[in-house]
Amino acid sequence: MRPPTSERDYLSRGLLTCATCDTPMAPALWRELRVYACGGSPTRRVDAELVDSEVWTRLCVARPEQTRNFVGDARHDVIAREVARVRVTNPYPMTLTLRGDDDRT
């Protein structure tokens, strides 16, 4: 699997963990498709567009004040600031833990 030419556009980069083996998932390209690949089992991958869109949507619902008016890669900074971790399984179910909410999940 080739690494992506740029990590920009992978909005949830650095936050994804494979729910199956607890290993971080990294941005990658698979047949021209942007994916996050499991570090423990690279054949386990999730569609980056689906995951990023779901993460952003959930964050907008949970933290509307913090997400207003952000577009493009600026959303990555917001996600990195507000989201503690995202555990995914192909890509659903997805467990999104916000910072400050750790003790409630």
Pick one of 11, 15, 16, 18: the residue that binds Zn ion (CB under 5 A).
18
Task: In angstroms, give the least distance from the CB of 32 to Zn ion.
Answer: 23
- Told to check if 21 binds Zn ion by CB under 5 A, we report yes
Neighbours of 31 (CB within 10 A): 6
- Told to check if 26 binds Zn ion by CB under 5 A, we report no
Token readout for 31 is 């047949």
Side chain identity at residue 5, one-letter code: T
- Told to check if 40 binds Zn ion by CB under 5 A, we report yes
Task: In angstroms, give the least distance from the CB of 42 to Zn ion.
Answer: 9
What is the distance between the alpha carbons of residues 80 and 43, in angstroms, rounded to a whole number? 26
